[in-house]
Structure 1
Amino acid sequence: MKKYLWPSIKLTLLLVVLLGGIYPLFLAGIAKMAPGKGDGITVMHNGKVVGYENIAQKFTADKYFQPRPSAVDYNAASSGGSNKSAGNPDYLKTVAERIDTFMVHNPDVKKSDIPAELVTASASGLDPHLTPAAAYVQISRVAKARGIAADRLKQLIDANTKAPVLGIFGLSTVNVLKLNIALDDLK
């Protein structure tokens, strides 16, 4: 037993120092070289921080484009999905309620044209991005609420659409916070 005890203690201490000290410091050092210096990329408007680039915010007024629903009510402190399967009756009821709510605010849209991302939460509950199609389907509502031509809103969405990485990895996305800021800045 003594033969194995001392090597076990040494290995434990080595791993504590390595994984509890050196590795976290190494990762923190790498994060300090990333955009935002490891503190997140802030979104500024008129000299003030209005949000973070990778954390969704709740927009409920008809004059704004709305993000994906959030299972955590857009609370970044408790990120997470609903953890219910696609066949769960409670989950299906929630999705049906979201569809009904969407239809109340977007009566010009057919149910079959609603992108799934507008009625299902992301895995983190904080995804700030929509596909351009999910933004386009909201144009009619926002145009009516703001008195802006639909063509102008489509141009605004297109101007705020980010292409896939290297043109092939992922989808084209629109950051809802940045789109709504650009919308507020329209004269």
Structure 2
Amino acid sequence: MPIYGFDALEVLSHEKTNPFSKNRSGISIGEAGALFLLEKNKDGIKIMGIGETSDAYHSATPDPEGVQAAKAIQIALEDAGLMPKDIDYINLHGTGTISNDLMEANAVYKVFGSSVPASSTKPVTGHCLGAAASIETFFCYEILKGLRGIPEHIYDGEYDESLPKINLAGKNLPSNDVKVCMCNAFGFGGTNAVLVLGK
């Protein structure tokens, strides 16, 4: 059913997801999940900040300017007591659709400019819909635990120059200095959620 729904919206790609490329053509559906056990343990990876907004721009298309998405990022930073320079890595929502990548590039650039390494992991996992944010949070968890490096942003390398230039992560970025990660999740109806995780 979800595949037919996304196909009806004309956002289902026939190729691998290609976020932030000038050649992007939509999402690839994935199937996965992640489960977390939250506890009051001061020694574990922490949820440092949460930001939520809703732009109510359109039922299926985000606000291209990314105003409320940027506000969710700023709320998460304020909740964590951090500045943009304190974020070491951003896991982008990065769906590979024309409208979502435009919105997210604008939102991220408004807050961070081109300073923070960022990547979408959807070219690896596909878009797992309701489980997408939990899977992407797990990537951040593994980085903070030192179990993986910063994920390379996998795409065809042809950045869409009509988008603000955000810092897409290249190969072999070290994770040993990563202390704080951000995870973006931007859904239908302008539902925006951002997590800040840290050691």
TMscore range, shorter length: under 0.3
TM-score by length of 2: 0.27
Structure with the largest fraction of strand: 2
Structure with the largest fraction of helix: 1
Q: Whose radius of gyration is greater, 1 or 2?
A: 1
Q: Which has the higher contact order (CA 8 A, sep 6+)?
A: 2
TM-score by length of 1: 0.28
